[in-house]
Amino acid sequence: MTFLELAFSTEGRINRVTFWKSWIVFILIGWIGFLLIDAPQQWLGPVGWPVLAALLWPVYAVTAKRWHDRDKAAWWCLLMLVPVVGQLWTFGELGFYQGTSGPNRFGYPMDAPQRGARSPRSRADHRFVPRSGQRTGKSLPASYADLMAMFAKLAKCDGPINRAEINAVDFYLAGTLTLSEPARKEAIREFRAARDSRMSFEVHARRFYNHHSEHQHFLGEIVDMLVTLALADGNLKRREVLFLDLVVAVFGVSSHKYYQCKYGDSGPRVDATTLPEEKEYARILGLTGRVTRDEIRKAYRGLVGQYHPDKVSHLGPRLREVAEREIKRINEAYEYFRKKYDL
């Protein structure tokens, strides 16, 4: 970030360290201004007032960007006009509380990688990258186009997109991401455009992960949102499970919500290696309690019909690979029960 952007731009976000460094500079310059006003040489007095006046906008710009990091609008700067209480509140919250993790409605964290960075190791710009036809600060964050594409492709993978799925996406945009109205409208345009796009779900998932690989908690929240979207029209469908398996593999995160829906776990997810062998194989086949031989065969045939790689080959090599791994586990579980119960 350049000095001019820090001192004069009110867009984007800055962290606590930058906030404190800026205010140290402001205090030093203000101290010099007061020294000039009280200087014995009368000709120096008029110089001090312009120095103090010149600080007003940089103080506002820096404070506004720090409020943005806390996901609050710039009008919170008015709090500094309240004597003592307002000033203590401002410095207490902005100086000691961490900003929101991941992108918020004002942009990316200062240290988050985003489109346009010169290299993966360079410090990323704190502002949004504007999209064509939109003003900086009102467009989507660069990676949100990929997020909307993932939403669209997941919603469409099991048939036409219905009203429940649209409502789930709209609620997430307005309620959780708290996007501005222009950004929300752009997100909806991206959602509609992605429905008929030939670009694969995996490409969008990998691009989104490249932007947010350092924010595992945020990636986990996205997986949970994808699960919510998949459940908007009822139970998980075969293709929805494949898409969710893919995004979990790409993001490298675990989602208790997803595994609970997929396997029917009633408690927290447990490492399979700690479970008795038969209980784990029963979980893979979706079996609980006492079951008959016919129920085992029926569960096996149903899962093979869902996960057979030939049925998903048109969805791309990555989804076929996920299906192959899943069918291997299903076959292993059925083979165990076949030998034990002479199926």
DSSP string over 115-135: TT-SSTTSPPPSS--PPTTS-
| pLDDT surpassing 60 at residue 125 | no
Q: pTM of the entire structure?
A: 0.43
Give dist(CA 26, CA 130) in Å, integer: 30
- pLDDT of 114 reads 43
Mean of pLDDT values over 131-145: 54
| pLDDT surpassing 90 at residue 63 | yes
Angle separating helix axes 56-69 and 45-54, nearest 10 degrees:
20
| pLDDT surpassing 50 at residue 135 | no
Question: Is 144-263's fold the same as 272-341's?
Answer: no
- pLDDT band for 275, please (50, 70, 90 cuts): very low
- pLDDT band for 136, please (50, 70, 90 cuts): very low
- pLDDT band for 65, please (50, 70, 90 cuts): very high
What's the chain's length in residues? 343
- pLDDT band for 269, please (50, 70, 90 cuts): very low
3-class secondary-structure state, position 234: coil
Give dist(CA 179, CA 132) in Å, integer: 18
| pLDDT surpassing 80 at residue 194 | yes
| pLDDT surpassing 60 at residue 261 | yes
3-class secondary-structure state, position 104: strand
Domain boundaries, the chain: 3-96, 144-263, 272-341
Percent of the chain predicted with pLDDT > 70: 76
Domain 144-263 part of CATH 1.10.3680: yes
Tokens for 90, please give them: 């401002």
Give dist(CA 79, CA 91) in Å, integer: 10
Name the residue with higher pLDDT: 129 or 160. 160
- Which residues does 6 contact at the CB level (< 8 Å), separation at least 6? 14, 18, 22, 58, 61, 62, 65
Kindly report the average pLDDT of the chain as a whole number. Answer: 76
Angle separating helix axes 144-156 and 238-251, nearest 10 degrees:
150
* Alpha helix positions (H), 157-292: 163-171, 181-195, 201-212, 216-231, 238-251, 256-263, 277-285
- pLDDT of 123 reads 30
Domain at 272-341, CATH class: mainly alpha
Mean of pLDDT values over 284-295: 74
